[in-house]
């Protein structure tokens, strides 16, 4: 491990290099442009390939091609740029090709503002492509956690031969922090049994394609296989953090930078007698329902979703997890306005006895 002082985007790029990523293609868009800028310099130093595509669509298509050979491939963008990549992402998923896609989110709909928000929760977790596509979505709350998630994202992608997304807001992408970087991993591309390595007399020609061909492998069969994979994720891969929940009677639910803010707010309101705690989803998909399902409605007065999105996007998953047994409220900012601990604290104190409707 080595310590460095880096901005989040560059730290994530270095983590990808050290995780064995040797292909990156992307297109500039704030607030994630530094990922591509960093890798434009770094990839050639390790024998990798960097390509700035002429568009987001071209970039995800290049990842499709590179990943089909078995190389670790990654792309990144921001919100409206990710939207343009989703068609290609759907093809990659159907072709059973692993890759990592990073979304350093910004406001919207449309191009929105370049300032950070958390408005891509629904797009990332519910509809990252057509046909009921789902992907694992990881959400770091710090630069260090973003660095730590990169190798894990590649491992999940290769385990399932499926795309994986890291979703982080512009605050984490642009903040500077001390990080411990992992050791360099040199990953040799081998014949994994599915990747394109060049045909020879020793094996049959392979095709990597996104269209189900032949009656013996129909579309429904592939949909069933994906559905079983989604069930395995829910059973085995959901991750979360609990903070001051042991004696809490008010639970905040937040991810990313909002979760960091909530920890500060919890420390403040506890001095005023409000026993608040935090459940932080680390995987947004699969959503960590377990800690919410276990909450005792006789003990917990209410749940408050804190999110940089209007209207709240995570609130429906929270309500489903608690089966509507506990009132679920929300505190939201959007349009590039970052939540702060004073606002969250004031909201909790002001609404301590409020009955939630709806």
What pLDDT score does 85 carry?
A: 97
pLDDT band at 168 (very low <50, low <70, confident <90, very high): very high
Mean pLDDT, residues 61-70: 97
275 and 229 assigned to the same domain:
no
If we measure between CA atoms, which residue out of 293, 278, 273, 265 comes closest to residue 353? 273
Strand 302-307 relative to strand 250-253, pairing = parallel
Calpha distance 233→164 (Å, rounded): 12
Question: How far is it, in rounded angstroms, from Cα 344 to Cα 76?
Answer: 31
Q: How far apart are CA 154 and CA 16, in angstroms?
A: 9
* Percentage of residues of the chain with pLDDT beyond 70: 96
Domain end (from 187, 212, 236): 236
Statement to judge: residues 44 and 99 lie in one domain: yes
Residue 204 lies in a domain: no
Classify residue 213: in a domain, yes or no.
no
Residues 146 and 282 in one domain: no
| Same domain membership, residue 159 and residue 140 | yes
Q: pTM (2 decimals)?
A: 0.95
Q: What is the pLDDT of residue 343?
A: 96
pLDDT beyond 80 at 353 = no
What mean pLDDT do residues 71-99 have? 96
Q: What is the reported pLDDT for 205?
A: 78
Helix (H/G/I), strand (E/B), else coil: 97: coil
CB atoms < 10 A from the CB of 59, how many? 25
Furthest-apart CA atoms within the chain: distance in Å: 75
227 shares a domain with 277: no
| Tens of pLDDT, residues 10-27 | 999 999 999 999 999 999
Token pair belonging to 34: 């530094």
Answer yes or no: is 214 within a domain.
no
Specify if 205 maps to a domain: no
- Name the helix (H) or strand (E) containing 90: helix 80-94
Residue 352: pLDDT band (50, 70, 90) is confident
Per DSSP, what are the bridge partners of residue 74? 24, 100
Please indicate, yes or no, whether residues 91 and 135 belong to a single structural domain of this protein.
yes
pLDDT of residue 209: 79
| Same domain flag for 151 and 183 | yes
Q: Are 304 and 252 in contact (CB under 8 A)?
A: yes
| pLDDT given for residue 1 in this prediction | 66
What's the domain range around 146? 2-199+220-236
d(CA 48, CA 123) in angstroms, rounded, equals: 31
pLDDT tens for 132-155 read: 999 999 999 999 999 999 999 999
| Cα–Cα distance for residue pair 76/210, rounded to 1 Å | 22
Specify the number of domains making up the chain.
2
Supply the DSSP symbol for 279: E
Q: What tokens appear for 206 in the block?
A: 């392979």
pLDDT, tens digit, for every residue of 184-242?
988 889 889 899 887 766 777 787 877 766 545 678 888 899 999 999 999 999 999 99
Q: CA triplet 302, 107, 90: central angle to 5 degrees?
A: 95
Q: Are residues 253 and 335 in the same domain?
A: yes
Sheet (strand 283-285) strand order: 49-52, 21-26, 72-77, 99-105, 163-169, 136-138, 283-285
**CATH number of the domain where residue 267 is located:** 3.40.50.920
In this structure, the answer to whether residues 184 and 46 fall within a common structural domain is: yes
Residue 224 lies in a domain: yes
Q: Is residue 305 part of a domain?
A: yes
CATH at residue 85: 3.40.50.970
- Cα dihedral 280→282→285→286 (10° resolution): -90
Judged against a pLDDT cut of 80, whether residue 245 lies above it is answered with yes
Instruction: Report strand pairing: 99-105 vs 49-52.
Output: unpaired
What are residue 337's phi and psi, to 5 degrees? -85, 120
So what's the pLDDT on residue 354?
66
**Res 323 pLDDT > 60:** yes
Which of 46, 106, 35, 114 lies closest to 75, judged by CA?
35
CB within 8 A of 336, min separation 6: which ones? 106, 107, 113, 114, 115, 116, 117
What phi and psi values does residue 281 have, to the nearest 5 degrees? Answer: -65, 125
Take residue 226 and report the two structure tokens written for it: 């994906």
**Residue 339: DSSP 8-state:** P
Main-chain dihedrals φ then ψ at residue 156, nearest 5 degrees: -60, -45
Residue 209 in any domain: the answer is no
């Amino acid at each position: 491990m080595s310590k460095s002082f880096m901005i989040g985007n560059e730290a994530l790029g270095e983590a990808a290099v050290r995780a064995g990523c040797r292909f990156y293609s992307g297109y500039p868009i704030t607030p994630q442009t530094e990922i591509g800028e960093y890798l434009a310099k770094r990839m050639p130093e390790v024998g990798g390939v960097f390509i700035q595509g002429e568009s987001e669509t071209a970039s995800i298509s290049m990842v499709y091609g590179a990943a089909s050979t078995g190389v670790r491939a990654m792309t990144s963008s921001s919100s409206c740029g990710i939207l343009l990549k989703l068609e290609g992402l759907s093809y990659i998923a159907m072709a059973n090709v692993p890759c990592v896609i990073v979304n350093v989110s910004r406001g919207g709909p449309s191009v929105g503002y370049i300032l950070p928000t958390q408005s891509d929760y629904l797009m990332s977790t519910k509809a990252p492509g057509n046909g009921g596509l789902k992907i694992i979505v990881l959400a770091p709350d710090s630069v260090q956690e973003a660095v730590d998630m990169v190798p894990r994202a590649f491992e999940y992608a290769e385990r399932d031969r499926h795309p994986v997304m890291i979703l982080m807001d512009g605050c984490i992408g642009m903040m500077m922090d001390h990080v411990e970087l992992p050791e360099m991993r040199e990953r040799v591309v081998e014949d994994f049994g599915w990747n394109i390595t060049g045909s020879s007399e020793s094996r049959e020609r392979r095709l990597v394609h996104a269209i189900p061909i032949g009656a013996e492998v129909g579309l429904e069969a592939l949909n069933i296989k994906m559905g079983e994979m989604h069930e395995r994720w829910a059973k085995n891969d959901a991750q979360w953090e609990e903070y001051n929940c042991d004696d809490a009677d008010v639970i905040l639910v937040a991810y990313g930078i909002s979760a960091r803010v909530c920890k500060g707010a919890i420390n403040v309101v506890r001095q005023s007698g409000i026993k608040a705690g935090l459940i932080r989803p680390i995987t947004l998909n699969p959503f960590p329902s377990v800690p919410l399902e276990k909450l005792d409605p006789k003990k917990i007065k209410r749940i408050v979703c804190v999110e940089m999105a209007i209207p709240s996007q995570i609130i429906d998953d929270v309500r489903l997890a608690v089966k509507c047994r506990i009132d679920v409220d929300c505190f939201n900012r959007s349009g590039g306005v970052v939540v702060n601990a004073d606002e969250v604290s004031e909201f909790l104190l002001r609404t301590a006895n409020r009955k939630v409707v709806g």
